[in-house]
Amino acid sequence: MQARRLPARQGLAWFIAGFRLFRANPPLLTSITFGYLLTVLLMLAIPFSIGGLLLPLVQPMLTLLLANGCRAVAIKGPRTTWADLPVGIREHRAALLRLGGLQLAGSIIVLLLSLALGLSPDPDKPESALPAMLGVLALSSPLVLAFWFAPLLTGWENVSPVKSIFFSLISTLRNWRAFLVYGVVLAFSLIIPALLVLAGKQFSASIGQILASIVEFVVLIVVMPIVTAGVYISYHDIFVLQPAAPVADE
């Protein structure tokens, strides 16, 4: 498995490509993004932290489902159907579940390390929240990188779970500059709307409320689907040398 090393500016190109992909079929990408978020929220709502344990197990399947939708939109555009979404999931269900088990184990290790290092924020000290959050982010970053491409490598390329984790980690580290730029662009896409809301509240509380509603709508309808497309676009850019050819109109 050969992964290309891309320049830092490619991170910006991924965000732009995500917006173009969103424009190709907004209803489908918005629907699958909402479906993913709803599934995560429902699982986390299961009592006794059962949902938190089950979520990593099914996370690779959910990631592959989203990537299938993005790949189908890239090839078929508005002619993409719901039948395109489960491709590769049934055939590689056992491998994806094993991958989910490894992700669960990694999540538990990150949790134990964060507790051992005292990264839980103190409710009586609000200023401790930011350092704790940054510490957990630093601990969890290798886990995120290791599983960024792993579900796609297993579901599309029939790579074993352990090898897919290895290839995912190596390929993301080889392209850390592009991923850093991509993360900064995503952060600005969320920070700038928030600053607009704060500016609106300086003039009027009602204006701020209206702006907040608009920002929430734009983030959910546009930004989140673009983020969803990021996994597929970066995978295609790093592992696939030729661009996806659009299907000719019938």
What are the pLDDT digits (tens) for 175-226?
999 999 999 998 888 777 666 666 666 666 666 666 666 667 666 778 888 8
Q: How confident is the model at residue 51 (pLDDT cuts 50, 70, 90)?
A: confident
Q: What is the dihedral of CA 160, 101, 14, 83, to 10 degrees?
A: 80
Beta strands in 77-124 (DSSP E): none
Task: Look up residue 143 and give its two tokens.
Answer: 């886990």
Q: Is 56 exposed, middle or buried (0-12, 13-18, 19+ CB in 10 A)?
A: buried
Mean pLDDT of 50-72: 93
CA-CA distance, 169 to 14, in Å (whole number)? Answer: 19
State yes or no: pLDDT of 52 exceeds 90. Answer: no
Residue owning tokens 């424009």: 23
- Is residue 203 within 8 Å of residue 188, measured between CB atoms? no
Q: Residue 105: what pLDDT? A: 96
Residue 244 clears pLDDT 50, i.e. is over it: no
CB 89 within 8 A of CB 48: no
Q: What is the mean pLDDT of the chain?
A: 86
Rounded to an integer, what distance in angstroms lies between the CA atom of residue 167 and that of residue 146?
8
126-136: average pLDDT: 74
> What's the confidence (pLDDT) of residue 199?
66
**240 membership: H or E segment, kind and range:** none
pTM equals 0.85
The pLDDT score that the predictor gives to residue 221 is: 77
Pick 172 or 126 by higher pLDDT. Answer: 172
**Higher pLDDT, residue 223 or 165:** 165
Integer Cα distance of 93 and 139 in angstroms: 29
pLDDT value at 42 more than 90: yes
